[in-house]
Amino acid sequence: MYRVNEIFYTLQGEGAHSGIPAVFVRFSGCNLRCPWCDTDFADHTDMTAEQIVAEAQALYDIPNERRKMLVLTGGEPGLQVDKPLLDALHAAGFYICIETNGTRPLPEGIDWITCSPKVERLDTRLSHSGEVPTKLALKRVNEVKVVYTGEYDPEIWREQLQAEHWLLQPLRFTGEWLMQSGIDEWQDDRNDNLDDTVRYILTHPFWRLSVQLHKIVGLR
Ligand code: SF4
């Protein structure tokens, strides 16, 4: 049984596959607690691999489509994804992507790995308490997607990971983030740090901007 939070069909909104239709399977639970996390992954339904495949097929019901994309996400999908689930999804014709924080080893056979590595604060109550990179279990992935917080240099991940695509994503300020940062109210019109992220990329052109396309166009 797998603990599944939700399964839905939409457009991939982030990274190199932006704009491509995909079934998203969101697993419940995560081993990290990032202050800006706005993903609701607490609820879950227990499902077998066969039930997951059946629901994904019912949602992505396009006859003769040869490369149906399916994204395993979370939470942290690396806590639950295993070979039997991958085999069942491949047998049903899905091209399997995963979005992981990189702290868990993954089974062989995933077609596309997106790693979003995170840092941990030495004191989780304070934003400027010193950040240390989480220990990664992965070394080689397809893309690295980092949320640019402005509090540490994303270049640290280039020493630890190999990838074809390096993406930097603006940070969206949530209530909890503002509270932990000691800021009462964000002064800008916007609720993200897009300008700072763009400035960073202009001086570190190895990186590419990744925006959350699905939020801009109003998809889930
Ligand atoms: S790793 Fe991802 S899902 Fe887990 S707490 Fe951080 S942002 Fe949320």
Using CA positions, which residue lies closest to atom 3 of ligand 1? 75
31 C-alpha to ligand 1 centroid (Å): 8
Q: Compute how many other C-beta atoms are within 10 angstroms of the C-beta atom of residue 98.
A: 24
- Residue 168: alpha-carbon gap to chain centroid: 12
Using CA positions, which residue lies closest to atom 7 of ligand 1? 37
The phi and psi torsions of 106 (rounded to 5 degrees) equal -115, 150
- Residue 88: alpha-carbon gap to chain centroid: 23
Task: Check if 169 has its Cβ closer than 6 Å to any atom of ligand 1.
Answer: no
Tens digits of pLDDT across the chain (220 residues): 999 999 999 999 999 999 999 999 999 999 998 877 878 888 999 999 999 999 999 999 988 887 899 999 999 999 999 999 999 999 999 999 999 999 999 999 999 999 999 987 655 554 555 567 888 999 999 999 999 988 889 999 999 999 999 999 998 766 555 555 555 555 555 577 899 999 999 999 999 999 887 777 777 7
d(CA 152, CA 162): 19
Helix extents (H) in the chain = 49-59, 83-91, 175-181, 194-203, 213-216
| Atom in ligand 1 nearest the alpha carbon of residue 38 | 8
Q: Are strands 165-170 and 208-209 parallel, antiparallel or unpaired?
A: parallel
Q: Which two tokens stand for residue 165?
A: 């695509």
Model pTM score: 0.88
Q: Compute how many other C-beta atoms are within 10 angstroms of the C-beta atom of residue 119.
A: 20
41 catalytically annotated: no
Q: Which domains does the chain have, with CATH numbers?
A: 2-216 (3.20.20.70)
Contact 2, 47 (CB under 8 A): yes
d(CA 206, CA 203): 9
Number of H helices, E strands in the chain: 5, 11
